[in-house]
Amino acid sequence: MKQKLIFVLLLIFGFSITEAQKTYVPDDGFEQYLIDEGYDDVLDDSVTTENINTITVVSIPTPIEEDSIYSVNDLTGIQDFTALTRLYVTDNNLTSLDVSGLLHLYKIYCMNNAITNLNVSNNPALTELLCSNNQLTSLDVSNNTSLTQLHCNNNQLSGTMPESICNLSIDFSDSAVFNISNNQFCSPYPSCVEEYIGDQDTTNCNQVSIYDETLPITYYLYNAYPNPFNPVTSFRYDLPKDGLVKITVYDMMGREVKTLVNSSQTAGYKSIQWNATNDRNEPVSAGLYLYTIQAGEFRQTKKMVLLK
């Protein structure tokens, strides 16, 4: 009778009773972690959303069965951790991880799982992504322009890498911040990573064409990248057969500035860099420049802009 009276009074005075919003957390290992951290109280496949939407760090421990620390296989529910900035979930049994939409998340360590699908397509703050030793077959980081560290070695990433990876703010020459070795990437590699690609299993690369064409079929000079640039840019070019190759940089008056290549080369996918110096290794002034390739009867010229 007393409870009914209270309910009637609440209705009379305009109050409403609403159940707290819940987040679905089907994995017992994940929910047990939330219980251990004081954000939940019982294993019932759900947690009060208000309890988790201010959490900034999730650090899932390594499973130790004798200590009742069980493996996490599924992070469903992580999308409601809207304040999350750092996620550590290594040495577990995740097969999929979708954190897209967590706008404050800047660090993901998910090494040593069994992840085949990783979605980081809408994480603009992401600077560190360490996903080594998984089973990834593809990974799109084209929108993660804040990335400064990327470790995805020992996966099953395959195909050709887009030149757009060079837009990332990564020092590709530093193995401490960039490692994609032991995957299945095929050439040609982007100019910024071709010297740092590491060991790749290219067994299936020759099967991409029914004609088994492992060499370029035509001559081609690609756009300089980056362009505009300061102080270094790269030129990629395709040679379908062996021969004498000359690549030269000219100013807009047609005067020769620097000869980058003047030698016989074998057929294949090639690249060369220009560091904005002339043949005397003196820095050149900012402005518009031309670069030309001459290989046999093939000749092609393109433009680039040097900024200062």
pLDDT in tens, 196-253: 888 888 887 754 333 334 577 788 888 888 889 999 998 888 898 899 999 999 999 9
pLDDT in tens, 287-304: 999 999 999 889 999 999
φ/ψ of residue 262, rounded to 5: -155, 75
> Could you give all domains of the chain from N- to C-terminal order, each with its CATH number?
20-214 (3.80.10.10), 220-306 (2.60.40.1930)
With H, G, I as helix, E, B as strand and everything else as coil, classify residue 289.
strand
φ/ψ of residue 33, rounded to 5: -60, -45
Assess contact for 109 and 150: CB atoms under 8 A.
Answer: no
In the prediction, which pLDDT does 109 show?
97
pLDDT in tens, 90-125: 999 999 999 999 999 999 999 999 999 999 989 999
Given a cut of 60, whether residue 277 has pLDDT beyond it is yes
**C-alpha closest to that of 47 among 8, 18, 21:** 21
| 18 pLDDT tier (thresholds 50, 70, 90) | low
* pTM for the whole structure: 0.65
Which helix (H) or strand (E) is 163 found in, with range?
none
pLDDT in tens, 30-80: 999 999 999 999 999 999 999 999 999 999 998 887 667 789 999 999 999
In the prediction, which pLDDT does 217 show?
78
CA neighbours closer than 13 Å in the CB half-sphere of residue 257: 22
